[in-house]
Each structure stands twice: as C-alpha cells, then as structure tokens.
Structure 1
Amino acid sequence: MESKHHYTGLTAAQVAESRAKYGENVLTPPAKEPLWRQFLDKFRDPLIIILLIAGVLSILISCYEYFGLGDGLTVFFEPVGIFVAIMLATGLAFYFEYQADKEFAILNQVNDDEPVEVIRNANTTQIPRRDVVVGDIVLINTGEEIPADGELIEATLLHVDESTLTGEPICTKTTIESEFDADATFPSNHVMKGTKVMEGHGIMRVLAIGDHTEQGKVFDAVQIDNSVKTPLDEQLDGLGRLVAKLSYCVGAGIIIGRILMYFLSPSYEQFEWLPFIAYMLKTLMIAVTLVVVSVPEGLPMAVTLSLAYSMRRMLKTNNLVRKMHACETMGATTVICTDKTGTLTQNQMRVDSLQLYGLDEHSSAVSEAMALNSTAQLDFTDPSHPTVLGNPTEGALLLWLCQHGVDYRELRDCSNIVDQLPFSTERKYMATVVDSALMPGRRILYVKGAPEIVFGMCRTMGEGATRERVEKQLLDYQNHAMRTLGFAFQIIEDGETAISNGRVTATRLHFIGITAIADPVRSDVPAAIKECIDAGISIKIVTGDTPGTAREI
C-alpha cells in the first residue's frame, strides 16, 4: 500500500467493495415527529392558548345569547372570527416552517458534501465527505474537521479538539508509541469523526464511517435540543402572561363589583337564591365577555404574517431560516464580524511577485523551501489545471513551482523530512528539517512565515537585502492588499539542534527573500458592505494579516 512518503491508497474496485460492505459516510437522521404533532405544537404559544380559552368562552356566550335570549346567528361571528385568527396564525407558521425544514434537509446534505483530501490510485484528490470509505487514506490539516474515525499513519505536532466527544479541547495525537497517553479516552494514534484539527497535520487510514463512528454512537444515543428563545419569543410570552393576568383581574373585579352592587342596591330587601343565581349568571357573562374582547386576537396573526414575509424575503436572497422568530433576532444585528480570506476575497491565491536576495528564482533552495516546507497538495486530476488542496497560501507556492516546471511531488518523494514545525498563529511561521535530495548529504532547515518574524530570526541575509529595503518592499505589497511570506534556510551541522520545544532554535538562519500573494476582493463585496453600512450595521474585518493589508481591503 505504501512506500517512503508515498501512499497509493485504494483502487476504484476496492472503494466500491468497501462502500458495498459499510455503506456511506453519513449519520442516519433521527425520526421526525409526525406532521400532526408538529401542527399541534403551534398551539403551545401563550397568546394562542389565551385565544383558545377566549374562543371557548365566546362560544358559550353565543350559545346562551342564541338559545337563551333568542338572538340571531350573528352572535356566532365573534367566536368564528377568533378561531379563524387562530387557524390562520398557526397554519401559516406551520406551513412556512415545514417548507423551511424541507429546504434545510437539502442544505444539511452540504455538510456531507464538504471536500476531503484523500489518496486514491496513487493520486491526491478531493472527494465529498459522504464518499469516504473504510480503508481510505485521508490527509488532515489544521482547521479541518476529521471526516471519519481512523488510525494515524503520520502525525506532525498534531493537536485535535475532541470536546464534542470527550470534553477535552486539546488532545495530542502521535504515531510514536512511547508518547501515547495511557489515560486518554481514545488511543493517541486514533482520530475521531467530527473532531477538529487545531494544530499540525497528519495522514490517517479510515477504520469506521457513518453510524459506526464514535460520533455516530453519541448522535444515536443523545438528541439535544439546544434551541433558545429569541427576544420576540420572550416578549410575546410576557405579553401573554400580562394579558391573562389583566383579564383575570378585570373579570374578578367585575364579579366582586356586581356582587357589592347587588347587596348595596336600595331595592335590596331580602336575600333570595333564585334571583341571586340569575343575577350571578348575568354577571359571569359580562365578565367573560370583557375577558374575551380584551384578548388581542389579531396580534398572533400580525406577528406571523410579518415574520413569514421576512422569512420569504430572506429566502429570495439565499438566506434560509428554519424558525420564523429567528428573523427578528437577525433583524436586530448591529455589528458583523467577517473573515477576510474566502469571505471578502475570492480565495484564489496566486504568487504575484517573488523577490529573492542573492539567489536565482530557479535555485534548488527555493524549490525545496516551497515544496517541502508545506502541508498543501495539488490535485492533478486535470493535469492542465491543477487545483489546490489544503492551505491556499501554501498551494499558491506549489502552483508557482508547477508553472516553472518543477514537480513538488518528486521533491517530496526524493527527500526525507526529519522534523517539522507546523504553522501556528502564535509562532507565525512554519519550519521543516529535511535530508535534501538536491544537496545530497546535507540536512537543511527551511523556515517560512510572516516576513518580519522570519527576518528577525536570521543572522545573515542575501546580497542586497537590508532591513530598510525589505520593510519598504513589504509595505508596498501590503498596500496593494497582498499576503506576504518570508523565506529562510540554514544548513544543519552534525549534532546541531534545529527545532526544540515547539520553536526554531537554530541561530544561523540565512534570509532568502519574500513573496507577494494576491487574493482579489470578490466583486459583490463593495455593494454588500455599502448596504450594511447604510442600514446602520458596523463591519469589522477579522484577519491574521497585517493592518496594512486589512486597511487596503
């Protein structure tokens, strides 16, 4: 199945056999409540309950007026109107949320269609998450969700967030038996579906998919409703309670007042039960009538229509809302914090400029620095248009090598990676120690990252490189909204330590140069930003890039 740093993965026939045996990599959704129960749930709204009580009382009053007093059928208009309002409010809410649920069922499939990097037929490619099968070789990188349960083949400073399964936010994963954590919930060389890679990267062989994963077992055992009430929900609940209390108070006040009037009336001489009972029935009818008319039967209908209209308007702009009351919460937005890469920009990064100092752009050091000190891959399914898999910034460097006739895969296969320090936002650089194939017999440390950080780590620099020149060049790149990277290397002598305790400890780094990577702003962003600002919504850009780059965006 594998050779040095090279895995062939499953063949098409093996994939088909595994899928026939274990099925798709999806979780079986829980059984839904029948539609009749979903409809009845709409009657649990406090205002609807009050309206139902008022409707019943209104029917009793109308029956008394029709059969007891001989009034016409018009006395039934009031209860009919109340129940029409109830059915319209509950029916519309049920219909729109039922339609939204159907659309969400389709949308939920998108998660199962998220791309995953796998090796099949000796080629690194992307497949939908649902198509991962037992036995697949999967590449996992920082920020990615692990698509299935598997055993690690390779792991480089791999830390996984397993809080969704165990509550542990950071778990160290390794393939070195001596470093296994005996107290860990899951083996240190195993990773689980649904957990997230917080740092590092690795390669795993899939052992379980779908319902057979640990996530699938938890999903099957526990179904948690994490819904919360919106401000409008809480306000309507409060209004319902207030209306109920006021109605009770009004009704009680009328009954007490009428009883006092009966006994304090000048015509009152002697208590008799039959006249008093007739008087009390009339009093109750008056009290019930006032309670019924005090209930705002049009309010639930007005709220439902308003939210339903908002829901459909949002759908026309490709914003799907499951619960109607969520429209009210989104309508109260005052600040939007947005990522830059892939959200404001196209996330199609390409090397725009490469500035080297003392080296030719075809130098072997530059090629190895880009090919080996990287976790990205290229998909050559279409050889004429390779696509980036993994980190788009590192992928841009691989595309640059490809455009210059350098196959990064050959460099990786011929060289041996001795140690590696993945990129992190704290360090702001990545480092790799390799036994170089282009410089046989030499062990080299390559460092790549934020230019100001890398430059500060270097003792020497290429011809023509000065701090002033580098800073001026970086400022120019950043003012054009380009992402910048700095490169450095050092030949490691025997017995010399290059990486220790999660840091580069080499002290003779040589600065190679810098590169500018362009990622154009999406064409629809300016209009969207203007619309938000005109609506009084503040926009904040959250990015790891420099202030100059963010300001230019």
Structure 2
Amino acid sequence: MRDANANERTALTTGTGGADSFEISPKDLQKLMDCRKLEAVKYLNEKYGGVVGLCRLLKTSPQDGLHEDDFSKRINTFGANVIPQQRAKTFLRLMWEALQDLTLIVLIVAAFISLALSLYIKYGQAPTFDESEGQAGWIEGLAILIAVFVVVFVVALNDWQKERQFRGLQNKIESEHTFFVIRKGDTKQIPVKEIVVGDVCQVKYGDLLPADGIVIQCNDLKIDESSLTGESDQVRKSETKDPVLLSGTHVMEGSGKMVVTAVGPNSQAGIIFALLSSEQKEKSKTKKNDKKGKKNINKVPSANSDAYQMKSKENKTKTESDTEQTSKPKKKPRRKEQSVLQAKLTKLAIQIGYVGTCVAIATVLILIIKFSVHTFAQNKEPWQTGKHLKQIVNYIITGVTVLVVAVPEGLPLAVTLSLAYSVKRMMKDNNLVRHLDACETMGNATAICSDKTGTLTTNRMTAVQCFVGNKHYKRIPTASELPESIINLIVMNISINSGYTSKLLPPDIPNALPKQVGNKTECALLGFVKSIGRSYEDIRTQWSEERLYKVYTFNSIRKSMSTVIKESDNPMSFLLFTKGASEMVVKCCSWMMDEQNKPRPFSLQDQERLTEAVIEPMAGEGLRTIGIAYKKITIATNSKSPNDMIVQSEPNWDDEEHLLEGLTLLGIIGIEDPVRPEVPAAIRQCQKAGITVRMVTGDNVNTARSIAMKCGIIQPGENFLVIEGKEFNRRIRDKATGKVRQDLFDQVWINLRVLARSSPQDKYTLVSGIINSRAAPSRQVVAVTGDGTNDGPALKRADVGFAMGIAGTDVAKEASDIILTDDNFSTCFLDDSPLKAIQMLWVNLIMDTLASLALATEQPSVELLDRAPYGRTQPLISRQMAKNILGHSLYQLGVIFFLLFYVQLIMEVDNVSG
C-alpha cells in the first residue's frame, strides 16, 4: 500500500510543469466550474473520473496536496492568485477633478474677465479715469487664480495621499489574509496570494473562499453564495450533490477540503472584477457615444462567465438578457450611511449654501443698482465699456466671494485630513482602519457592545477544574486519579470531536506555554488531554478526518459540536461524541457515568442538582463550563449496556435533534480565560467619558456576571440588568406577533449591561434597537466588536464595527470598519468694500486651509477622554458656540464700521480701505 502511494506521488510530481505538461487546460477547468450541482457531478465523473481523476490531471494528491517546491510553471499555466488592481489616478487627473467644483469654475471665469478688462483698460482705449487702476487691475485677477491653484493643489494632494494610503491598506489586508493548505502531507497556513491551481485547501467555518475549487471531502458544509447569486439561502455542498465552491463566497457551517481549480482573474471573484472594470469603461464610453457604448457592451470577453450565468440561472425572476442587464446603470451598493459628523456637516453646508447664495445674489443686485442709479441716473455718464463693465465684474466677483467665504470648504478638508492622519496613528495602536469615517464616528461613540472572549479576556484558555466520575476536582487531576474507561472516552471525544486545525505547538522560547493554534476553547480541551498524560495526536493519526462518519459542526444555536465514527471492531456500531455549553449538553443527557464506571439514570432532578453543585460554582468563578457526552448507536436487537441506543437500521443522520437525545454525560470541564490586565482601566476611561460599555457573550449568565464584575462593567450598588438572550427576547417582543417593539425595547436597554447566552441575532437586535431608540436625550452612536461569521450583520448595522484580527473570521473582518490586530479592547479608545475680494479669498481659502491642516494633525490629549461624546441628534453648533459666533461677529462688524466711517474723518484721509 505504501509503495502504491509512493508511485502515485511520483507520478503526480513528474513532468516539466509547462503548459504542455498538464493534461488539462484553464479552459477545461472553466467548463467544469460553469456546471452546477448534479450537472457538475456528472460532468466531473464522466470527463475526469471524479475528483481523484481531476487531482491526477492537476498533478496533486487529494490526501497530501502538492509535492513540488517550484510553482512558477504552474503559475505560468493557470495564473497567480492575484487580481490586478486598477491603475491609480495621476496627480494631474486628481487636480482636474478638483477643478470641477462649480465655485472654483466661477472664480476662474471671473478672474479671467478681470484680467481681460484690466488689459483692455490699459491698451484698448484712452484712459478716462484713474490710470493706476488699469495698471494694477491685473493683480486681483492673478491673485484669484493663485488662490484657486493653491486650493486645487491642496485638495489633489490630499486625494493622492489618501489613495496611496488606502492602496497600502488594501495591500496590508490582503497580505494578512491567509488560508490553510496541505503541501507534502503537512497543513500550512500561507498567504492567499500564494495559493495555486492544484493546491488542496482546508475549508472551515468562517472562511472567505480565496479561489474556485471542487470538494474533495466535507462535513455538513454550507456556503453563503448571496454575493454571487443574490440568493439568501445557504447552499449545502457535498461530493455527490454539489461539489463546486466559488471564490468570494462565505463558509457558514461545516468543514472540508477542496482542490483549487481557478485562481486570480480566472476565478469567479476575478471574473466579476473584470466585468465591473469593463462596465465602468463602457459607461464612460456611453457618455461620449450612446450607440457605440451599447454595441461595445457585447464585446466584454467574460460575458459568458459564471458571474452572468449564475444570475440568469438561479435568479429566475430576472428575464432580461445579459446585454440589457449590463447596459442599465447599476447603483453601487452603499456600505452604510454617512457618519454622524459627515451628516451634520452636510446639513450645515447645505443651510449655509442657501443663505450664502441668497446673500451673494442680494449683494450683487444692490451694488449694481446703486452703481447704475449713481452713475447713469444722477451723474448722467455715458456707457464706457472698459470702465463700467470692469465695475460690474468687480461686483460679480464680490458676490461670488461672499458665496465662497460663506461655504466652510476648509472644514471638510480638515475632517478628511484629520481622519487620514488618524488612520496612520491608529495603525501604531494595532487598529487597522478600513473606512476613514469610522475614526470620527468612534470618537463620538456613546455605547460599546463588546464580546467577552478574546476582547475583554486574554483568549489564552486553560482547563483548571473538572467534574468526572461524579466527583468535582478543583484542579486538574492526574490520570491515575480518574476512572480509566471514562477518561478514554473523554480523550477520544476531545481529540476527534474538535476541528483538526486546532492544535498545540511547541513554544518559540524554552519553558514557555505551548502555542495555541485554532479555536482557543478546543485548544484548552486539548491541553487538558496533555495535562493528564495522553496524546491527542495519536488518536487523530488513527482517526483521520476522512474516517469521520458524520460531523455536526458547532453553531450558535445548538452551542455544541458532535462527531460520529464507526467502530473499527464492529461495523454495525457507531459512537456519537458531543461537546458544548454545559447546560445545553446536560439537558440532552439521560445517563451519567458514575464513580464505578457504570452508567446510571440522569433525571431532571439530577440535572438541577449538578447545575447547582458544579456548573454554577464554576461559572461564579468566571469559568467557561464545557459538557462532554457520548452515545453508542448499535444496529441490533439488544445490547449489554442500558445506555446504548438500539436501532433496527442505520439512523437518519440528518435528524440531529433526535440523535442528540439520550446522551451519556462523561464530565464537565471548567476553562479559565483571564481578563486582560489593561481592560478594567480602559473601561473606567470609557465610563468617565460618558460611554456605556455592554458585554454580549455566549457564556452563561453566572460566568458573564463574574467577568463583568472583574472588568468593571457592572459595579455593586448600581442599577444594572444582567439577562440571558431568551429572557431578553421575551421582554422586547410583542407576545402576539413576536416582533420587536421599540417601546418595550426602550424599557430594557438603558440599564442593560450584560447579555448572556446570546446569539448573533440577539446582538444585531440589541445594536439596531439602541441606534433606533429615542429614549435617551440624544440618539446613541453605537460601536460593536465581533469575531464570528454570524456577527457580520451586527458589525454592518453598527455605526462602527470592530473585528478581531486574530480570532476573527474573514466574514467578520469584511463586514467591519476597524480591525483590532491584537484583539484588545483597550485599543478601541482618540461702493468700496472694506475688504477686497482677493483679501477675503486669501483669508478663506488659504489661511483657513492651513489652519485646517494644523487642526487635522494636532495630537490628541488625555483630557479628550473627559469629554462626553456627542449624541447622534445633538446639533453641530451648540448654544455656547452660537453665542460666541454672534458676539465675535457683532464685535468685528462694529470695529470695521468704525474704521470705515469714522477713522476717515478723524485721521483726515481720503480712503481707509486702500
């Protein structure tokens, strides 16, 4: 057998590796990936002899993956897993876009008219008025052009820096996106861009698939393909019904392995990217030539790709052709609304714009009417084009200047620069900002809904207590202290009934703790196995993933994971192992192994006594309690053991609820996850700044309350509410319809501090309800932390979503605004006018902009945390600010009027404005 495997591996790695060395081409693979469900299974079996035959053609092994070290020939044939970025805009292009501002265009036109008139006055006709005006008249026009150039240059420079920054940010995000592959029989975590066609990838819950592939083996694998098909239902994948996996889709449940068949531009994500780029080009062509654009739409090279076929096949409501779909302008989906400050600034700018426009028009009309009456009606002067038109243009420039001065263009620039500058600073504090506006919004957050595990705690979990053989151990006992038959079942349960990507690795430095890789709860259980002197690796070697008969992966509803294996010595007998939240597992148990290694009945009263005597005391110490149980299923007529499940035929493995009845409890393990030392101080700072911190966790209410007390989220004597998700829903939902009622919700959320045993849907309901609530004096600005796939909706709904950089799934990171690269909560918190037109423009456009730059780059002080956050509906200009503005305006107007009308008489000068 070993020789056969060796010969197979040798055959897989032979060949030159060039385009001709592979017996399958990218086009052949594309045809395969265009098939769906049973059609794909049929095509795969008939054309290639199943997935094993496909792997042979790709020169890879379904078990051991690729064996080669040089992937250049494979990349030359099938491409690299990199989607080409669109070309960056040049600096001149950005300057041209900045010039499209209507106000700047009006200023430029006015400046050129002013220059033309000054030249006409000087050279075009005989001087009939002050010659110095014609000689110096060009200065005003030139000064306006210089001011406009400075503004355009600063805006373009800011946009250029922002684009460079976000390209760097995108590259950083992509470089940190890794995936598990099998190469030379070893599981490795490599950057996504290094994945090649032929790689065997391990797929698990929470992954964002980086390439297209075919399922080799899977366990209860469900995929969210809504990003491609628009269908919200999860798609169940299997080797025999639907083996096609597509890049850009999300793994919602289960695990498995796939062989990569398309990467980069040839994958579905790459094809869609190419289509979007083509559509953008076609839209730009359509603007120039409508007919030409419609013809060119049909020339898109990937129009027959899966991106179109999936939509036409699966979205049956759409009857338009591909050409019609692409020719219609599509609205770009907005991620979320404007940030709180942006919304306030937009509203203020519109209001100022209306007022400024009215004042500007009134100013121009009054000046022109006054000039006309004085010049033509009173002085009876004849029309002189150079002189009189020049004066009218000056009035128009004054009106435009009033409008320009009225609009606070320096403020949006200051906000943008400040946020961009903040992004750089936050990178040093382990905050990876994905959306600029999140920096500003987080600065005004009034409520934070935080996870417990890994955010408030260290996520370095350790088993510290256990209940085995009807005895509660306050420490981890030695193997000799425990009943051997029970321990054998517990060790087998933990080793097999965990993700095989969860493992303990030797420490990087001597005498340090082992490195925990994968799910930290499972790592703590594996540590328990090690601490009693057993080896989980030996059991996994004996029971490879391919030998597991059925796997029910963990999800947030059942809060447990189960695995079925077929016994080696009895093919008619199955073992079902279950582990999960202790109270959930205990409810499923009808038997318990006692101190004599014998199963005894486990009644409801026994369950309650165990909960009171063991589970609640453990939880009261802040421990996470994990229940370990099993069931033996035998196809027979009778059994020696009373706790075996006897069936006449193989059970329906899809009926999970029925299978999880009548389990036998093996033990309870208490896992400690210490609070991060810096968290209590960070929460005190938040509370001092007026920010309410709420903990949302899947742990039971006793564990959650204990951790909340240690963190400082709740304090003795305070009026706070700690409830579980089920009670939370009972209080906020209408009894008749089951829908959330805002009035009921408002009675709960204000005092709510801890939501235990909650689901991601509960978190979404909490976040959405707080944002919509008007019970507080000003509407709340909510920040949320999350790490799971199902946290995506809550992260998107929140004003600011924080994803965990270490423990977070790809789906959570994609839905977030900011990624905490160290998973640490503490990183979340930081006639003649008195003024010539050019003088006003200089003050407004140049000095204001420079002042904005100074404001944007000012370092935050610690005292900033003493300021209470601004609510969603709190006005941008407070009463105190309005008083200051009014007082300063009246004072400055008084000084200007005094200088204009009295100093001229007192000082006996002709013109004080010169």
Which is helix-richer, 1 or 2?
2
Structure 2 unpaired stretches of 5+: 10-51, 53-60, 281-331, 471-481, 596-605, 636-646, 709-914
Q: Is the 1:428–1:453 Cα contact (8 Å) retained in structure 2?
A: yes
Q: Normalising by structure 2, report the TM-score.
A: 0.52
CA distance in 1, matches of 2:661, 2:423: 57
Alignment of 1:294-313 (within 5 A): 294-297=402-405, 299-301=408-410, 303-305=412-414, 307-313=416-422
2:450 is matched with which residue? 338
Matched, 1:210 2:259: no
CA RMSD of aligned residues (A): 3.9
Q: Is the 2:225–2:235 Cα contact (8 Å) retained in structure 1?
A: no
Matched, 1:144 2:144: no
The structural deviation recorded for 1:191 is 0.9
**Helix, strand or coil at the partner of 1:168:** coil
What one-letter code is carried by the residue in structure 2 that aligns with 1:205? V
Matched, 1:545 2:699: yes
2:592 is matched with which residue? 461
**Helix, strand or coil at the partner of 1:449:** strand
> Larger relative CO (CA 8 A, sep 6+): 1 or 2?
1
2:166 is matched with which residue? 104
CA distance in 2, matches of 1:448, 1:259: 91
Alignment of 1:162-173 (within 5 A): 162-173=225-236
Task: Decide which moves more: 139-148 or 3-12.
Answer: 3-12
Q: Kindly tell me: are residues 439 and 62 of structure 1, through their superposed partners in 2, closer, same or farther at Cα, counting changes over 3 Å?
A: farther
Q: Kindly tell me: are residues 241 and 27 of structure 1, through their superposed partners in 2, closer, same or farther at Cα, counting changes over 3 Å?
A: farther
2:156 is matched with which residue? 94
Percent of aligned pairs with the same amino acid: 28
Indicate which of 374, 380, 393 corresponds to 2:521.
Answer: 393
Alignment of 1:174-189 (within 5 A): 174-177=237-240, 180=241, 188-189=242-243
**Helix, strand or coil at the partner of 1:461:** strand
CA distance in 2, matches of 1:514, 1:19: 50
What one-letter code is carried by the residue in structure 1 that aligns with 2:132? D
2:131 is matched with which residue? 70
Indicate which of 13, 18, 27 corresponds to 2:83.
Answer: 27
What one-letter code is carried by the residue in structure 1 that aligns with 2:392? L
**Helix, strand or coil at the partner of 2:92:** helix
Task: Decide which moves more: 337-346 or 42-51.
Answer: 42-51
The structural deviation recorded for 1:425 is 0.9
Matched, 1:374 2:374: no
**Helix, strand or coil at the partner of 1:71:** helix
The structural deviation recorded for 1:365 is 0.6
Indicate which of 632, 635, 640 corresponds to 1:491.
Answer: 632
Q: Is the 1:378–1:387 Cα contact (8 Å) retained in structure 2?
A: no
Q: Is the 2:65–2:183 Cα contact (8 Å) retained in structure 1?
A: yes
The structural deviation recorded for 1:524 is 4.2
Alignment coverage as a number of residue pairs: 539
CA distance in 1, matches of 2:274, 2:688: 46
The structural deviation recorded for 1:61 is 7.5
CA distance in 2, matches of 1:462, 1:493: 19
Matched, 1:417 2:566: no
Q: Is the 1:157–1:173 Cα contact (8 Å) retained in structure 2?
A: yes
**Helix, strand or coil at the partner of 1:367:** helix
Q: Kindly tell me: are residues 489 and 333 of structure 1, through their superposed partners in 2, closer, same or farther at Cα, counting changes over 3 Å?
A: same
Matched, 1:131 2:194: yes
**Helix, strand or coil at the partner of 1:108:** helix
What one-letter code is carried by the residue in structure 1 that aligns with 2:227? T
1:113 is matched with which residue? 176
1:183 is matched with which residue? none
**Helix, strand or coil at the partner of 1:365:** helix
CA distance in 2, matches of 1:335, 1:100: 29
2:363 is matched with which residue? 250
1:185 is matched with which residue? none
Q: Is the 1:11–1:121 Cα contact (8 Å) retained in structure 2?
A: yes
2:807 is matched with which residue? none
Structure 1 unpaired stretches of 5+: 181-187
Give CA-to-partner distance per residue, 1:79-100, whole Å, 9 cap, x none.
Answer: 5654454444443343344334
1:360 is matched with which residue? 483
2:578 is matched with which residue? 447
Task: Decide which moves more: 316-325 or 304-313.
Answer: 316-325
The structural deviation recorded for 1:409 is 4.3
Q: Is the 1:124–1:379 Cα contact (8 Å) retained in structure 2?
A: no
2:424 is matched with which residue? 315
Task: Decide which moves more: 475-484 or 27-36.
Answer: 475-484
CA distance in 1, matches of 2:101, 2:614: 63
The structural deviation recorded for 1:167 is 1.3
2:792 is matched with which residue? none
Q: Is the 1:485–1:515 Cα contact (8 Å) retained in structure 2?
A: yes
CA distance in 2, matches of 1:199, 1:322: 26
Q: Kindly tell me: are residues 79 and 7 of structure 1, through their superposed partners in 2, closer, same or farther at Cα, counting changes over 3 Å?
A: same
The structural deviation recorded for 1:54 is 5.8
Indicate which of 443, 463, 474 corresponds to 1:351.
Answer: 463
Q: Is the 1:51–1:295 Cα contact (8 Å) retained in structure 2?
A: no
What one-letter code is carried by the residue in structure 2 that aligns with 1:422? T
Q: Kindly tell me: are residues 354 and 84 of structure 1, through their superposed partners in 2, closer, same or farther at Cα, counting changes over 3 Å?
A: farther
The structural deviation recorded for 1:189 is 0.8
CA distance in 2, matches of 1:322, 1:491: 50
Matched, 1:281 2:335: no
CA distance in 1, matches of 2:356, 2:576: 74
Indicate which of 615, 619, 623 corresponds to 1:482.
Answer: 623
Give CA-to-partner distance per residue, 1:12-43, whole Å, 9 cap, x none.
Answer: 43756534543432211122222211232233
The structural deviation recorded for 1:286 is 5.6
What one-letter code is carried by the residue in structure 1 that aligns with 2:673? D
**Helix, strand or coil at the partner of 1:317:** helix
Matched, 1:507 2:661: yes
What one-letter code is carried by the residue in structure 2 that aligns with 1:544? G
Matched, 1:38 2:162: no
